[in-house]
Chains A and B, each alone.
Chain A
Amino acid sequence: MLSPTRRPPLIPFAIAFLALVGGCGGNGDSVVVGATTSLQDSGILEELIAAFEDNSGYEVRPVVAGTGQVLELAGRGELDITLTHSPADEALLIEAAETIERRTVMQNSFVLVGPKGDPAGVSSAGSLAEALAAVAAAEATFISRGDESGTHVRELSAWEAAGIVPGGNSWYQESGVGQGQNLVIASDKAAYALTDTATFIVLRDRLDLVAYFTDPDRPNVYSAMLVNPDKHPEVADEAARALLEFLVSAEGRRIIAEFGREEYGLPLFELPSPD
């Protein structure tokens, strides 16, 4: 049989097409920031990014994921700057010199929320550990983030302080989803969950949950870290530094301090206590 059609070379054509669609925005003009879900769910991430883009002319590509994924990507040099709230894990990256220049940007508090009526009686607890112990004692359903996020890490240290191992019990469930969705699940199951004040206030109207106990001991601290350009030459270090500077600048701090005041009556974040 005589051979059929010979086609034009497709692979180069396809790549050219993709490059075109992908936008010619090269590395220099954009910065990839890895941010945790609670920053997106509360809405502050969007506002900060919009202000920074207007201000600087850089394009921001936010990659929103759990703290675990964000820090993993940072360690691989796939991000330029991170915005997370897990001090212990952040410290590890600094130690390994994958990231440099950690600066605290904002903070709020962890809050234990639960179903109406407080069946486990956590509101009278004196510490987060005590509150969780009450939940365990009542065998009330608890939805954990279960994803090594900042919230999850705080939760685990509280269990440890209370001397309880929650895993394996039927009332302890790990969702593995983001901050907002975790609350939706807890609301649906009339369960307890640990979250941050900002996310809770923003989503409160959609949930059947009440905030019972705000953790006084350890605030939920969000820090930014630059991915080390010496270790990862691909990093857009100039743009990343510009974003970092913006977050701690007067304008950035103003946005953070005022965020939520108009809509919810009170700011959802506070500026960090000086390190």
Chain B
Amino acid sequence: MSSAKLGISDVVVQRGTSEVLSVSSFEVREHEVLAVVGPNGAGKSTLLQVMGLLTRPAKGEVLFDGSPVRGNPLPYRRRMAFVFQEPLLLDTTVEGNVRAGLALRGVPGAEQRRRAAEWMERFGVAALSGRSSRYLSGGEAQRVSLARAFVLDPEVLLLDEPFSALDAPTREALIDDLDQVLRDSRATTVFVTHDRAEALRLGDRIAVMIGGRIRQVAAPEDVFGAPADEEVAAFVGVETIVPGRLTCLRDGLATVEVSGVTLQAAPLTDPGEEVLVCVRPEDVVVAPLPEGPRATSARNHLPATVSRIVTAGPHVRVLLDAGFPLVALITRQSLEELELAAGSRVEASFKATAVHLIPHRRQA
């Protein structure tokens, strides 16, 4: 197990009279990507800012390489890089922005230019190097912000929901690029997001944060498969996202292995071997176990056990264990008619077209 690179201990942050953050112990290990996920207002940004030495907590301390940070935080800040939700670019050219952090550290001009060129290339903004930051699209600006952070060759990378302000296609493209860069550079990273799919995709470990407290830190399967408490379950169990392996793709039909269970999907493009499998709860049909085989157009029929029932307004979310965690959304009436309760044996069905596959490259 690699050592703790950056951590916090007994930290409390207050805003006014309320505690927005209360964490007794939290750390990110060297070379890992730790995704912090949770609902809005959970305190994730505050957590990240405390770790980045940008906010001083009312109590507690930050530990860098195991020793507490005392005195002037500047030398430590210079070993980290922080990317915010907004690009927050300076009023100069793209190149000027990417070089900004290097200039602050007194790096000689020629080296600044060389390193900036490399990272502008990596994030696909080399052609824009002379453009003023005022004339960039949202995606371009965020790429510049990322390049500006990576060019510093930081020991720790802190990313605060860097993609949530972007539209879906831009976000997809950027997540792909970031994923690749993180794999290549093996930088220690803490990545905050409210999007479970992003967390699963990029994180080696996932930390779930609710109400200013860290509820669970574990490998993705364990967080989604065995949530620590009701609130975590409610948060992660909003939809089904599980890792899987695509074993066969023929005539538009893909066979995917998920925790030993075989599923069929109908992807439009080839997602590669390692994938994340997503099924929307509305697409899952729950029925009593059938007597015998019958013909339906749905290609996936999975025997499952009800593990939890969560009421969500007029609907009900049924958390099933089908060999992997599966979430179904049904009406109250159906819940009553089927007489479902924890432990009930049912059959969950969904169509191949309801199974979404996202490429998921795992760290070697």
Show the binding face of A for B, using Cβ within 8 Å.
1-2
Chain B contact residues, CB within 8 Å of chain A: 53-56, 73
Instruction: Return chain B residues, CB-CB under 8 Å to A2.
Output: 53-56, 73
A1 to B15 Cα, complex, angstroms: 11
List 7 A–B pairs whose Cβ atoms lie within 8 Å, in order of A's numbering. A1-B55, A1-B56, A2-B53, A2-B54, A2-B55, A2-B56, A2-B73
Determine the residue in chain B with the shortest Cβ distance to A3: B56
Contacts of B56 in A (CB 8 A): 1-2
Docked Cα-Cα span, A1 to B57, in Å, equals: 9
Q: Could you count the A-B residue pairs with CB atoms below 8 Å apart for me: how many are there?
A: 7
**Closest Cβ–Cβ distance, residue B52 to chain A (whole Å):** 11
In the complex, which residues of chain B have a beta carbon less than 8 angstroms from the beta carbon of A1?
Answer: 55-56
Shortest distance between the CB of B78 and any CB in chain A (Å): 15
Give the docked Cα–Cα distance between A1 and B73 (Å): 13
In the docked arrangement, what's the CA distance between A1 and B54, Å? Answer: 7
List the A residue with the shortest CB-CB distance to B56. Answer: A2
Chain A residues with CB under 8 Å of B55's CB are: 1-2
- Look across to chain B and name the residue whose beta carbon is closest to the beta carbon of A2: B56
A2 to B57, CA, bound (A): 10
What are the residues of chain A within 8 A of B73 when measuring CB–CB?
Answer: 2
Q: Tell me the nearest residue of chain A to B53, going by C-beta.
A: A2
CA distance A2 to B53 in the complex (A): 9
Minimum CB–CB distance from A167 to chain B (whole Å) comes to 65
A112-B55 Cα distance, complex, nearest whole Å: 80
| A1 to B56 Cα, complex, angstroms | 6
CB nearest to B54 among chain A residues: A2
Report the Cα distance A2→B56, complex, angstroms. 7
Contacts of B54 in A (CB 8 A): 2
Bound CA–CA A117/B334 (angstroms): 117
Q: Which A residues are CB-close (under 8 A) to B53?
A: 2
Complex CA gap A63/B53 in Å reads 60
Q: How near does chain A come to B13, taking the closest CB pair, in angstroms?
A: 11
**How many whole Å from A64's CB to the nearest CB in chain B?**
52
Nearest to B73 among chain A residues (CB) is A2
Q: A2–B52 Cα gap in the complex (Å)?
A: 12
How far is B55's CA from A2's CA once the two chains are assembled, in angstroms?
Answer: 6
7 closest residue pairs by CB, A with B: A2-B56, A1-B55, A2-B73, A2-B54, A2-B55, A1-B56, A2-B53
In whole Å, how far is A157's beta carbon from the nearest beta carbon of chain B? Answer: 72
Determine how close the nearest CB of chain A comes to the CB of B79; give it in whole angstroms: 17
Complex Cα spacing A1 to B55, Å:
5
Question: What is the distance, in angstroms, from A203's C-beta to the closest C-beta of chain B?
Answer: 58
